[in-house]
Structure formats: structure tokens, C-alpha cells
Structure 1
């Protein structure tokens, strides 16, 4: 029989054998040996059918990884990842195979992506086997000795039989490292590792900052995890000898421990009847106890979903990561603060936004201030200050980014109020909760003299100010007259309208008189506030402003404060006492039907020009007030 005939006869048999081997390999073989490879949708399954290894795609991206997952659990739950640092883009042209005694992953260009990197002396007889405990081992075929195993290089999951600790001779630690987010197995921020004393676990952030500890091991439980006593299906053991020190555990049910990407270590069990994982315990116990879990300017809330949100006027710094549950990048301002932009020419100001029932951020600085107004100005005058709070007659400020803010419930007595510095354009003027805002180095000074400048400009444009007439007659123009005008301006600032308004029936409503009556008689100060603000203001601030205004409009100019005194009051350096009743305003209260404002001297005794109440009040100190005959 010729060679061609022999080949022809054996060809069907060879094809059948190859087909059988391929089917056997793809339908549940637990190993990869030399001259075999795994690619595409092929997998290997442990002998007992508990675990499966193959390519997986964690998100809607062209990124594939070699991983191990529970075979009998759905949805897919990954317990180990080989190529965490580098993915492949095409699983069908990529290959996982044994080469020169190592298990190696090649990408579509046949570039090595990941390898076990062992130094086996029998490279031709090495096989990779997936065990039924979820451990992938590389064995020497002739001696059946293990030369490498995945449990020595855990990802984020700690399985029964696995271990966390240290191989002393190899100088190698077994550490759980979180995923970056729910769809990215790249190493994240958090690690779970054994401390140097070897009797407790630590959670670290960036491998440096310790954020939690299990407490010491007492032989049965960790002291900071009393929940361990409630279950008897998992048993931990601490082993320490000359070669290694580690914790391991056994379990009678399907279970796992993970270092979650949000900074908590969680112990979970599988509920087969409910087809879901159940968290038995997690540490730290609440998400908001994880240090900086929401990043800068993020607010944590244990009862909301998601548990992290950005402050108003802020946005997530990394939107993609935020949507995937990784909030560690925090938030950033939508609009840069005025004080931090040296090129700005806008006359807008930074303002403070009130937040109630919150746990304050870390690292407050205590300052001396007479009242909340002074506390606010202390912060405004410091370009690094991003927030302030006034509590129990003490002033607290924060510089730089704010971390670990937490939103509390309204019935939580530990909740406090804090004021966050934001750009004024974030909130329309008619919705601002703050009564006044200022900018610049000496904040109060800028406010005072800017207002006086506006008053002077308006007087100039109107051309009817009686100072002109007085000057023409040789009368002096005093600084206290400007103080009077400033007081009138403050009243308009509080009410949100002109001081003098004419009603439909022809009567005149003069706001300073009404406001002074409330202040002197101890009435509800917020009733005179601009109604658009809906009483959303600091009572002490409004009271101080109104008291200053009342002092400014006293009949006796000798008792009116100077502008420097006003600055010190608004800065909180000086206290402002209860002012006396500005008796000159009583004429407005007693004769509201008969008030006529004159803005110029009449050319004849019978000639009178009635002013427009919308602007006459700002010139009241220079107007003649007469009763109708």
C-alpha cells in the first residue's frame, strides 16, 4: 500500500481524534498543557465544577482579561485576574498557553502581556491546573510539585483555603488589592494586608494611609469584628513559623471575602435559593466611615444611593469613574472662585452657601471672632479659605479642599451648619441665602466705599441733591451725612426694594421706619427681610446690619458711627449695641397720608414738585418734608 493510500485511510481517524481533543478541552478539561492554548470563548473548568477560567470582559469596552470565576454562580463573579495591569483587545487572536515552563498570555500581535515568570528546570513537562478551591497552579508533570500558584498573587478576593500574609523566605506578601471600579480590574486605591506584628489585618489607601484595622486576633475573632461570633460556617486560623506568617480560613458554604473598590472589606455568602450574594459583615461598617471615600468636595450619605454626591456648584472630577462607582476622584468647582483668578475683571463676588445637618470636614481651624459676621469676613479675607462655621460662639474655618463631609438626618443631634465658598454666578441674586457678599483684600472696606460711590454717582446723575444747594449757601458737607446715606442703603439691601414706595391708594410706605420699629421693640427680624429669600438668612447677621443702619440714621450726627467703625462691626471686631429710636422717622409713621418729598427748591411759594418714591428715600437726609396744608 502506497504512502498516499495510508494517509488517506488514516485522515478521517486523525480528524476525529483532533475533534475529540478539541471538544474535550473546551467542554471542561481542568488543565492546559504544553502545545495547548486557550483563546476566544474556550475555558477550563475545575474537576468538581466549582470554578472556571477563561477570557472575560468586565464592561462595555474592548478590554479582555484572563480570570477565574464561580462556575455555578450567576451573574459572573470574578475571584482572580491574571493580567490586571494590561488587557488585550481581541480574545480570539490572543492566546494563553504554556511556554518554556511558564503560563503566558499573548495578545493579538503575539506580544507577551502576562507570565507566571517561574524558573522551572523541566520546562517541557509543565501543566497549568485549575483546582476546585479556585486556585490555579503550575505543576511539574513528572514530580507533580507546584512551582507557581495564583493564591500567592491574589487579586481582590480571599477564598476559603487561600491566605493573606507573608512568605518570609521569598520576601513576598499576599495582599488583597481592590479593583479600580466596578468595571475595571486594574489595581485600585485600597489594600487589605497583614500588619507587621502579624495579628491583625489593615486596610490601607495607596499602600500608605491606614484607614481601618480588624483589631487583634484573640484566637477566635478579630476584636473589631464582633459579628464573626454570630456565624459558625467560617473558621479562621493564624499560622506563624520560620518560613511564613498568614491567616487562612475554611468554610462549609460558598463564601468569599473581597477588598471592595469603595474601601470596605466584605464577607459574603451565596444564597442559592435567592440566587444572590448576601453581605454578612463589612468593615468599616458604613461607607461614610471610609476615609475620603467621596473625595474632595464630595458629600457622603449612608442612606442615599449613590452614597456620594457633589456639593451644589460642584461637579464630579472624573465623570466616567463616578458613574462606575469610583468616587475617590471627588468633585471640582463648576466656576473658579474670584479670589483665585487674578485675571478676572468681573465685579461679581464669592458667596457662601449654607449646608445644614452635616458632619464637618476634616481639619477645621479655630479662630477668634466676635460673631458669625466676623467669622465670615475672616474667611472671605483669606484667599485659601473655602468654608467657615460659627458654632457655640466659636469660629471655624477650612483651607483648601474639603474631605469627609457627611450628610446627616434632621434628627441627628451631631449635625452642624457649614458655609461653603462658591462663585456668585452659581446662584441668582434673588435666590442667595446670604444677605451680603463682598470681594477683595479688605472685604468690608470695599463694600462700604463701593456703596458710597454708587450713592454719589446716583446723586450726580439726579442733579437734585440738596448738598449742592447747601454748598451754594455756604453750609458744610460732613462725612456723617454720607453715613446717613449708607444707613438708608443698608435698609434697601435688607428689604430688597426701595425704602419709599407709594401704594395704590396714594399712601407712602417708608421701610426704614417700619424696620426701626421692629428692631427697637425686639420683633421678628426676618419679617422685614426680602420675601424672596423666604427667611433663609442668619438672624444675627440681619440684626447687626439693621442695627448699624439705625445708628447711621440718627438725628444727632454726633452719635452716628464713623465708616471705620462700621467696617469693624461688619468684620465682627466690634459689637453693635441696640440703637436708640430714630425719632425723626416717626413723622413717616404718623403722617403716611400727608408726606410729600421735595427734591428742589420751588421757584415760588406755591410751586411743589412731588418726588418719585422709588428713589426719594435715598435722598431723605437732603429733602424737605412738609405736611399738606
Structure 2
């Protein structure tokens, strides 16, 4: 009995070992000629960076569903949010990975579906090879080589996935053109987030031979260009000028031209994607927040993507959803629209009655759509007036819309593409008359006149006449008061328009030395913030020039300037409205414990603010020093994305700017010592102010506070002491957070803040260095104690150098010190003064 039990135990152990050996191994990165991939089997690159196997979009590779579509793809192995970077059979999915197989067949790597039918192949030459192998590499490239070569590791690949990109462009790969055949590689978007099939948006190098890249709609319509490669950057991508993460190269050699990029820090995970939104986007992975961070994207405005909403779909910026069908139409596929795939567009609810006479009550009619960006492919017709233009379109069965303005008649046939809803103030806004069936119009007013007496009818007629007169007067006022475009989308408003928009400046949002800010609503119901500037002494021409310059600066972390008003002494700026207000209201004035700004959000706000300032300092044509960084000037949109406000205003106030700063409540606590000592101001003054603001991110209080016994506590001193003496850093945290913080991030923020407030400008990091540190690209060393804090530690006297009377004492702080700089401070940033 015991012998039989021992035998069964041995058999059990044998089969257990056999089953373990048959399981896919995470260490295997190669498919050999007799191997295959099926079911949940995968291969992983040698450093376990990328994985290849079957997947279904939106689910893990191991999930199974009989109704799902499956694909062979490559995705990041250690990124928690499964992100696919390459798909083999993107347009020919399989339904059952367990009965499908990726294997070598007749010299090629072939994917056979559940019916053993080939749905994808490497399609290389049929030349026989003694041994083939396919390896997934740590750069994300899937490479097919002749394994019989003595140096197969270094031999040229027979086929590689980098030559056939789908929607993602990885570091080290190239996207180019054969200069002999003019054939180009393409990045092509997915159809939608749940379908990796080939979408309608693509990126390619100009097939005509220039060094510019184009984003195309349907491979026919170009709607964005990078501009040619000049002086180590693309001329229309100024963000490349002072890049600090990517190493870019454009190469023309061996009958090919291509662009490629690599990472200065190989540990940073980055990808370039032709997104389903029709925008080209560069992402970096932030492990601290477990999410992809948008580093760069073009076109900036979603509605600049050509025909994003399909036929008879209209795009409206900053709306949700961004696409809608025009009146009288409905989505062709509600399912696709739910997935934000709008390319199928819209269809008519009611067919037209083309051919009916105008006198017929069922005859087609026209719907006026105001302030539209007119669709493309119109036909200009010479007619005498708007009535003739309307009649021409009505009698033409193929005409679907017309527009008549300034004596110009344009008609459209077929589908209307690239419709955009604009605001009244946009220079390109035009009226469009859309042909609809009569039944689409309300008929509630029909036949009511027969039951109304003559006297009542006369009264109604009089009211109508008066209403028409009022309408004409108001319309004339609107036409007279319409803003004029200065540059791009920047609009010059008339003062009375802004008086009406703000209801005579009745809803005040805040104020300071620059002036007061009021909430307003434009004619198209767009909510804006209107700032009334005070004591601007510049002339009209210079003011318009400076404002126009500010208006061209766009970044996701900078507040958008919509327009301005300049009428004599009346100087106003019109900005996007930020529903979550300024940062100070969320840090210092929190009454409800449920509204406490959590640490993760604070960290992202700190990072976003740093990105915005880095853009102003290093990526604009001229360095712009903000000069007034503080929580009141960091605004938050609906998703708590930070927007740096009031940038560029230093140039508007000129010599008066120092007076403005000293009269603004709360600003003195953020001033760098060079402001008081009288030396030239550089971008490092903003770095100092940013560091002072970081302390408040941590503590949730103003940096200087008077305690109950009358003494003044200065929080930066406490942080510097804790950091340099390696004390308990949790004691520095805002008590409202109840200890819910990432210790590594907290330490990083405190160290960065201490580096930012160093006495000498050269010791402070640049904003781009700070971005790298907060993103985890660079490490930051323990900072030295600033001498200004060391000399006055634990005493209220250290506040002296922030006051106007302390210039003599602070000027003595300009002597050199031997303190070490942070590891990220490899180069000194000597930006020029902007004000």
C-alpha cells in the first residue's frame, strides 16, 4: 500500500514538473522556427520592458470573451495602464486566440485564425533559411532574423516591426521616405479606443521630397504641417528649440530621409502617437501618478482637425461632446459616437422634397446657422442678391446649403465636411443656410390668425413691427460692436461690448495691483474673465503690440488670452474663465474637510505650473519673466489643470511694475532678494517665487504666520532645517491631508523648494530642471541651507529682506558661496530680463 502511494506521489510530481515546464516563461523573448504563440502565451523582451502576444483592446491579454476581437500586438510590460504600441492584424481580428496561432510557415511568420486561414504575414522573400527566429527587443522592435548566422545578434533583420508602424512611434525607430520610390511610412490612428483598425488620420513625411511632416485626413487632405527641418528643429514646432528630454535627428542618406528621436535619460518611458482625436501627441509615463502625461500635441485646438465630426457634423471647441449633428440630422451610428468615433458623420432625419414648387407648403426650406466656419469644396456663383442665391440652391436638387455675404454667393453639393461652430467675434464666422425638409421646421404658428380678431391682429402686427425695429437696431449695434481679429484668434473688443458682457462689471472675481477681474458672458454664451487694467501708461500702438505678442503664446498650462480692449485710458484683457478659481482658495481657505486638495492633485498642479513657466522662460521667441508667481495667479480649470495667469503683464506696466508689486497684498512674501537689491531681474526671480509657493503646497498655510503668543513663524526655515538635518518630513505636511502623501514626492518637493530660494541666482535650478525632477527624470541632491534663512533661523527678523526697507541688508547677500548645486543643475540658466 505504501509502495503504491509512493508511486502515485512520484507520478504527481512528474506531471507537475512537466506542466510547469510547459507554461510560458517571462524570460523568453524569442520565437524559434518550431515555436508558436497561441492562447495566453506571450514573449517578453530581455529586460522585461515590452511584451508580445494576443490582446483585446481595453482588457488584459489574459482575459477572454467569445464575442471579443483579438489581435497580436506589442505593449508595455511594466506600465500598469495597458498601452499597445504595435498591432499585426489591426484590420483582420481573430475571435478565438486559443485556436489561432502565430508560427513560422514557408519562411514567414504567419498568423492563422481559428479556421487556420492566414490573416497576417511578414511577407518576406520565399528564399529558404536554415533557421529563423523572431525576437521582441527592449526598444519595442519585433525583429525577424536568420538564426543560422554566426552573428545573428548583429545581422541585418529580414523583417522588423519598426518598418511597419501602426499608430505609435517609439524612441529609436524612424519614420521616413524612400527618396527613389517616394514611398513613405505612415502613423495611422486607431478607429476608436476599442478598435485598433486603420483610422482616417495619418502622419507622414512629405512624399514630394521636402523635410516637412504632414497630418492627413483620409490620406487626401492635409490639415497640419511641421514645417521644414531648419537649424535642428522643424520650423513650425518651436517647442523643439529648448527641449531637455528628447534628442532629435533628421537624416538624409542612402536614398532615404527620416526623422528619429531618442531619450537623454533611457529610463524615461515615452511614445509618440497618431491619436484617434486626429492630433499627433507625445506622451511620457509618470510612475508616481500611474498615468500618461501629455508632453506635446498638434494641432492645439481639437476642432482644427479636418472633418473630425464627419459629414453634417459640427465641431464646437470646449464642448462635451465636441461633435454634434446639425439640426435635422442624426448620427449614422450612435454606438460609434459613444466611442468618440465621429468619422461616419450624420444622416438626414427627413428626406428633401426636391422638385416641388416654391408655392407648395411642403417645399424644402433653409435653416440659418450663424457664425460658422464654412465647409470646403464650395462653388461660387454670380448672382445679384441673397434671394437669388437662395432660389438657385432651392431649385438645384444636389445643392444642400448656401451662403451669401458681401455680394458673394457660395453653394455646396454633397456632404458638408469640416463644419465648425465659431463665436460671433471670430473673424472667419459666416452665416450658412442649410436645406432641410419643411417638416423639420415648427408649424405651431400655422392657421392661428383665422381665430384672431382684426383688432388683436392689428396689435400683434404693431408688436411685430416694433420687434423688427428693435431687432434691426440691436443687429446694427452688434455689427458695429463686433470685435476685430488682430492675430490668430486674438480679438479687439469694443468697451461697450465688454460692459454688456460683464453686466456693467457687476460680478467681481478678484483683484490686485494690476486691476480687478470680472466674470462675463460673450454673445455666443462663452464664459470669460475680463481684467480691467489700472495705471497702464503705454501708448496705443505699443500696448497692442505687447498684447498681440502675449496672445500668440499658447500652452496647456498657460491661461489663454482671447482678446483685449484699448480705448484711451480703458485697457482690458479677456481670458478664458476658469471654473475652479485660483489656487489660494483651495489651499488657504478650505472650510469643508471634504474639499481638501489631496496630495496627488497638489503635486500635479506643481508640475503643471513648472511646465508653464519653463515654456515662458525657454520656449518663447523671447524669454518672458512672469515676475509675480503666487497661488493667486495659478488658476484651475474644471479638471484642476493649472493655468499660469497674468504672464507678460510686466511688459505692459514697464517702469511702474515695481510699484505694482509692492502694492499687491501677499506678493512681498514671494519676491526674490534681487528685486530689493536693485540688480537686473532674470528668470531665476520666478524660480525663487515658485519655490516659496511650493512651501505653501506642503503646509497648506501662508509661509509666514503669527502664532497666538505673537511670534512670527516662517515655514521655509522649518523646511530647510528639517531637510538639512534629516528630520521627520511628515511634520511639515498640511494637517488637513492626515498623512496621506507619497513620502518620496514630499521629500522631492521640499528639496526643490529649498534649492529654488537659494540666495545666489546661479545656485537655483532652471524651471526645465525642476520639471525633470518632478517628472522623475532627474534626481535632486540635498540642498544647503540658504544663508538668509541660516542667519535668521527661528526669528521673525528673517522676514526683513522681503520689505522695501531692506535693500541695504539684502544687497550684502550677493557674495559667492561654496555650497554645492543640485545634481540637475548641470548648466546655469542666464535668461534675459523681460521687463
TM-score range, shorter chain: 0.5 to 0.7
Alpha-carbon separation, structure 2, partners of 1:160 and 1:518: 67
Q: Retained in 2: the 8 A contact 1:100–1:124?
A: no
Counterparts of 1:139 and 1:373, CA distance in 2: 71
Is it true that 1:279 corresponds to 2:294 in the alignment?
yes
Aligned with 1:387 (options 390, 401, 420): 401
Rounded to whole Å, the distance in 2 between the matches of 1:101 and 1:50 is: 28
* Residues in 1 aligned to 2:13 and 2:356: alpha-carbon distance in whole angstroms: 80
Alpha carbons of structure 1 residues 514 and 210: separation in structure 2 relative to 1, 3 Å = closer
Q: Are the aligned partners of 2:130 and 2:146 in contact in 1 as well (CA < 8 Å)? A: no
Rounded Cα–Cα distance in structure 2 between residues aligned with 1:385 and 1:171: 39
Hey, what does 1:104 align to over in structure 2?
Answer: 110
The answer to whether residue 192 in structure 2 is matched with residue 157 in structure 1 is: no
The aligned residue for residue 305 of structure 2 is 290
Distance in 2 between the 1:373 and 1:119 partners?
Answer: 66
Offset at 1:350?
1.6
Q: 1:2-81 counterparts in 2 under 5 A?
A: 15=15, 18-23=18-23, 25-58=24-57, 61-81=67-87
User: Distance between the aligned counterparts of 1:517 and 1:312, measured in 2?
Assistant: 29
Question: What is the aligned counterpart of 1:263 among 278, 283, 303?
Answer: 278
Please state how far the C-alpha of 1:129 moved relative to its aligned partner.
0.9
Query: Aligned-pair distance for 1:365?
Result: 4.5
Residue of 310, 322, 325 corresponding to 2:340: 325
What does residue range 276-425 of structure 1 map to in structure 2 within 5 Å?
276-339=291-354, 347-367=361-381, 372-392=386-406, 394-412=408-426, 414-425=428-439
Measured in 2, the distance between the counterparts of 1:426 and 1:395 equals: 25
Q: By how many angstroms is 1:278 displaced?
A: 2.3
How far did residue 291 of structure 1 move? 2.0
Mean Cα deviation higher: 254-263 or 131-140: 254-263
Q: Alpha-carbon deviation of 1:139?
A: 2.2
Deviations 1:456-502 (A, max 9, x none): xxxxxxxxxxxxxxxxxxxxxxxxxxxxxxxxxxxxx8xx524961x
The answer as to whether partners of 2:283 and 2:293 remain within 8 angstroms in 1 is: yes
Of 193, 199, 203, the residue aligned with 1:192 is 203
Match of 1:140 among 137, 140, 146: 146
Do structure 1's residue 84 and structure 2's residue 90 form an aligned pair?
yes
**Contact 1:352/1:422, CA 8 A, preserved across alignment:** yes
Write the deviation string for residues 243-296 of structure 1: whole angstroms up to 9, x where unpaired.
Answer: 532211102321111122343222222222222222222222222222222222
User: Structure 1 pair 147/283, CA: closer, same or farther in 2 (3 Å)?
Assistant: same
Closer, same or farther in 2 for the Cα pair 1:238/1:14, shift >3 Å? farther
1:509 counterpart (447, 452, 455) = 455
In the other structure, the counterpart of 1:235 is: 247
Map of 2:636 onto structure 1: none
SS in structure 1 of the partner of residue 354 of structure 2 = helix
Q: How far, CA to CA, are the matches of 1:101 and 1:273 in structure 2?
A: 45
Structure 1 residue 368, shift from structure 2 partner: 5.7
* Separation (CA, whole Å) in 1 of partners of 2:69 and 2:463: 73
Q: 1:323/1:28 Cα in 2 relative to 1: closer, same or farther (>3 Å)?
A: farther
Q: CA deviation at 1:363?
A: 4.0
Show CA shifts across 1:205-233 (max 9, x none).
Answer: 33343333211011422112222235321
CA contact (8 A) 1:70 1:78 kept: yes
TM-score normalised over the length of structure 2? 0.49
Which residue in 1 is equivalent to 2:232? 220
- Are 1:95 and 1:107, in contact at CA under 8 Å, matched by a contact in 2? yes
* Higher CA-based Rg: 1
Deviations 1:427-466 (A, max 9, x none): 321279xxxxxxxxxxxxxxxxxxxxxxxxxxxxxxxxxx
CA displacement at 1:352 relative to structure 2: 1.9
Q: What's the secondary structure of 1:338's corresponding residue?
A: coil
* Residues 354 and 395 in structure 2, CA contact (< 8 A), matched pair in contact too: no
Q: CA deviation at 1:526?
A: 6.4
Distance 1:81 1:518 in 2: 64
SS in structure 1 at match of 2:306: coil
Distance 2:317 2:365 in 1: 29
Q: Aligned-pair distance for 1:179? A: 1.9
Please say if residues 356 and 363 of structure 2, whose CA atoms lie closer than 8 Å, have aligned partners that are also in contact: no
Q: Residues 169-210 of structure 1, C-alpha deviation per residue, up to 9 Å, x if partnerless?
A: 898643222222222222222322222325121223333433
Greater RCO, CA 8 A, separation 6+: 1
Q: 1:202 aligns with which of 185, 208, 214?
A: 214
